[in-house]
Every structure is written in C-alpha cells, then in structure tokens.
C-alpha cells in the first residue's frame, strides 16, 4: 500500500475527517499514514486521533507520527498539505491591522490583503517542502489544502514544476449539496460542473435527468425574501451564475459590499468573522485532546465528502470519478490567463488527475476572476523578484482594498503588516 504523508497534521479536526474518509474505503484500510507537525502536542493529538479513528472504522493502517518532515516524506506516494504558517496569531494580524486602517475583511485567506500576506508567509515553507519532495518522493502527488489555494498552487508550479500538484477544496461540492437541500432535490443523481478560480468559480452546469435545476433555485429565492439578503444570491442575481463559495468569503472578493455600512447590514455580513472561527478551531483541538485523554469517542462526520481520500482511492484502485481541482491553466479556460491557477472539473483514475478543458466561461464571471488572478500574479511576482512594490501593488489591485483605502493608506498598511509578521516573510520583502 502507498504511503500518505500529512504535513500540518496538527490541524486535528480536518485530519480526523480526512482519515475517516480514507479508512471508510476497504481498499485503503492498510495504508501507511505518516503524520508530521512542528508542534509536539498537536502531533500527539493527531496520532491519537488516527489510532482511534482506525480502530472504530475497522482499519489496520500503519501510523507513524514524526516531528521530522524528512521521515514523513521518504518514499511517500501522496503528500497532503494543510499547514497554516503563523497559526491563529498571524491570522489575527491579517484581519485586525487592516480593520484599524479602515479595510474590512471576513475571512482573509484567499485574496486581498489577507490572502497576499498569508501567501507571503506560506511560500518560503512551500519552497522547502517541495525541495524535500524532489529529494525524497519525486513521484508523489502533492495534494494542497492550504490557502490561499490559487496562489500556493501557482507558486508550486513556479518553484517545482516537475512535482505533480493539485489543489483541493470542498467549496463546489458543498455549494451543490446545500443548493440541492434548499430546493428539495437529492444531490445524488445530479450532474454539476463549475469553473473559474478557487472560491470564485461559477456553477455552469446543474441538472437532474437532463433538467436544469436553476429555475427551481429561482423559485426558492423568490419565495423567501431572506435569501435575497445573502451575498451569493445578490451575485447570482447580477451575474446569472451561482458562485461556489460562501457569502462570507465572497463578500470580501468584490468592491460591492464591505466598504459600505449599509451593504454590510443589508446582506448580514459579519466583518472579521474568521477570528471567531479560528477560536472555534482552537476549542476543537482542546476538545479532541480531552476526549483522547478520557477515551471519549471523537465525532466523525458521515460520508466521503473530501476530495483527497477520493483521489487516493481512485489512483490506488483505478476507480474513475470526477472532482473539482485547482490546477495550472494550460488550455483549460480560454478567457482566463494561461499559466494562472484555475478551478475546473478533473477526471481521476489510476493514471492520476486529468483536468477537463472548459472552453470560455461566461464573460462576466471571467471579468471578476481576472481581478482575483491579478492579485495572485502580482503576489507571485513579488515573491519571485523580491519586490516590495509588487506586494503593495497586489493589494492595490484587490477590489475591496482599492475601494476602501487610498494608495497611500495601502502602502502604510502593507508596511505595518510586514513589520508585524517579521521573519515569517522572506528577507528581501521585509
């Protein structure tokens, strides 16, 4: 059986779900799981979690927990990355400092100022990790969950183009799942495809028995005035295609919402929401630690919803399935920049992950995607060239930032964030 290395395994709630999804496949019950984290306490909880989940699901994996990344990677067939450089403390800086300058965000992990600085903290780690993979497991499939997804996968394509890399995110699946629940149609048996960029793709196909399900969504929104006070419903109304990320995320990618107190109230947006989510994640870790110490069963969600276990299962068994993945745009979306990272359907089989060319996506969706990709491109160039100006220009290119702050304030904000993050950012950008 292949070796699956979890890098950043101390993200124990997410690790737990990935392991549960893996072990529910009988063919994967004897995998070798290598867990790596730099925090010994979190690593111990991850190991205890893996052993409990395996026992409860009747799996018999080999579980190795190690503080040495080289041990985790040596001979691995799959490398799953879910590292958050700087943890909750860095996330707090990314949200609170811009807010003091008058720039509001909700999550701050994908694009805009929060995405830019999270990327600049993550790129140095990714560079070293991919160098280790070249040396220790060059044929492994790199499955990235770490945000900012598009920037990180793009950076991997720059510094290690020979490493097979796919970015995985559950946003398309859960969007369709939630929409089907809203209109009272089982998600099983529906056909759906989305394309665009991560956290801002567009649901282009959504049918059941050849019938488009969009008219049922229109009826559901018309029947519930409360739904019209959601960011995604407003985006759908204006653009004609439903976006594949939550209203909370989507609100900070545009200049339509957060610069206006009236819009914040109308669309029920909670600025700095991720601070609360981060604290909930910490509480989840503490709960898992206590539960393992007392022998209490950990909560396991039902169903194989995460993509990494499905990808591993398809490659190991030859089972053909379709997922949505984040990959380099090489003829996949005609009206988005080639070489950028896009989110498209991908066919997975024993030979790997095969992106599906989608032609041109709707022009209005592509227009918003290009702004998002401009922020990513400038961030990549900043890290590649060591240009401090490109960092600031990346933030300037963000619609939310540029509609909220003057260029002078953006430069000052970036100076403060750079100083606050210190040596987490590569030396020539400080």
Task: Tell me the two tokens of residue 87.
Answer: 């943890």
pLDDT in tens, 64-78: 999 999 999 999 999
pLDDT-derived band at 413, boundaries 50, 70, 90: very high
Give the phi and the psi of residue 49 in degrees, each rounded to 5.
-60, -45
Q: Answer yes or no: is pLDDT of 303 > 80.
A: no
Predicted structure pTM score: 0.97
Q: Write the CA distances from 244 to 138, 187, 231, 247, 299, integer angstroms.
A: 33, 15, 12, 9, 27
Task: Tell me the two tokens of residue 287.
Answer: 């709960």
For position 301, what pLDDT does the model report?
Answer: 80
Span 407-412, average pLDDT = 98
Least Cα distance to 252 among 229, 277, 235 occurs for 235
Q: How many of the other CB atoms lie within 10 Å of CB of 327?
A: 20
Q: Name the pairing type of β-strands 200-208 and 352-355.
A: unpaired
Give the phi and the psi of residue 214 in degrees, each rounded to 5.
-60, -40
Span 115-134, average pLDDT = 98
Q: Answer yes or no: is pLDDT of 423 > 80.
A: yes
Active-site hit among 36, 170, 177, 199: 170
Span 323-345, average pLDDT = 98
pLDDT in tens, 158-190: 999 999 999 999 999 999 999 999 999 999 999
Q: Answer yes or no: is pLDDT of 304 > 70.
A: no
Q: Which ranges in 358-406 belong to alpha helices (H)?
A: 363-385, 388-396, 399-404
pLDDT in tens, 245-291: 999 999 999 999 999 999 999 999 999 999 998 888 888 889 988 98
Ordered by start, the domain boundaries in the chain are: 3-167+297-301
For position 118, what pLDDT does the model report?
Answer: 98
Task: Tell me the two tokens of residue 122.
Answer: 């993550």
For position 29, what pLDDT does the model report?
Answer: 93
pLDDT > 90 in the chain, percent: 92
Mean pLDDT computed over every residue of the chain? 96
Q: Answer yes or no: is pLDDT of 39 > 70.
A: yes
Structural class in CATH, domain 3-167+297-301: alpha beta
354 catalytically annotated: no
- Specify whether the CB–CB gap between 361 and 196 falls below 8 A: yes
pLDDT-derived band at 300, boundaries 50, 70, 90: confident
For position 127, what pLDDT does the model report?
Answer: 98
SS3 of residue 118 by DSSP: helix
Beta partners for residue 208, in sequence order = 190, 211
């Amino acid at each position: 059986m292949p070796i699956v290395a979890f890098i950043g395994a101390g993200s124990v709630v997410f690790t737990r779900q990935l392991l549960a999804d893996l072990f529910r496949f009988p063919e994967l019950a004897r995998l070798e799981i290598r867990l790596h984290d730099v925090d010994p306490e979190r690593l111990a909880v991850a190991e205890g979690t893996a052993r409990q989940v395996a026992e409860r699901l009747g799996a018999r994996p080999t579980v190795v927990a190690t503080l040495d990344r080289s041990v985790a990677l040596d001979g691995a067939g799959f490398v799953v990355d879910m590292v958050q450089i700087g943890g909750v403390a860095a996330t707090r800086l990314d949200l609170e400092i811009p807010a003091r300058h008058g720039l509001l965000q909700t999550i701050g992990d994908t694009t805009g100022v929060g995405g830019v600085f999270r990327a600049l903290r993550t790129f140095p780690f990714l560079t070293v990790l991919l160098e280790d993979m070249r040396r220790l497991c060059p044929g492994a499939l790199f499955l990235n969950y770490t945000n900012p997804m598009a920037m990180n996968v793009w950076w991997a394509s720059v510094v290690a183009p020979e490493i097979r890399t796919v970015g995985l995110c559950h946003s398309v699946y859960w969007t369709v799942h939630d929409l089907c629940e809203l209109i009272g149609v089982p998600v099983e048996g529906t056909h759906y495809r989305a394309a665009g960029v991560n956290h801002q793709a567009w649901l282009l196909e959504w049918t059941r028995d050849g019938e488009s399900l969009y008219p049922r969504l229109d009826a559901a929104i018309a029947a519930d005035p409360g739904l019209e006070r959601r960011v995604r419903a407003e985006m759908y109304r204006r653009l004609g295609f439903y976006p594949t990320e939550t209203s909370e995320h989507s609100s900070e990618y545009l200049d339509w919402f957060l610069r206006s107190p009236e819009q914040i109230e109308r669309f029920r947006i909670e600025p700095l929401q991720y601070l609360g989510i981060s604290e909930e994640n910490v509480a989840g870790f503490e709960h898992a630690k206590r539960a393992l110490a007392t022998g209490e069963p950990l909560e396991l969600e039902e169903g194989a919803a995460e993509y990494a276990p499905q990808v591993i299962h398809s490659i190991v068994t030859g089972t053909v399935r379709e997922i949505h993945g984040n990959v380099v745009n090489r003829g996949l979306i005609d009206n988005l920049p080639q070489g950028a990272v896009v989110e498209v359907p991908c066919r997975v089989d024993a030979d790997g992950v095969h992106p599906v060319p989608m032609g041109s996506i709707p022009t209005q969706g592509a227009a918003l995607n290009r702004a998002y990709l401009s922020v990513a491109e400038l961030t990549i160039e900043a890290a590649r060239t060591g240009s401090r100006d490109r960092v600031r220009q990346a933030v300037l290119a963000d619609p939310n930032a540029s509609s909220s702050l003057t260029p002078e304030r953006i430069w000052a904000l970036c100076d403060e964030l750079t100083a606050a993050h210190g040596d987490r950012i590569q030396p020539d950008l400080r």
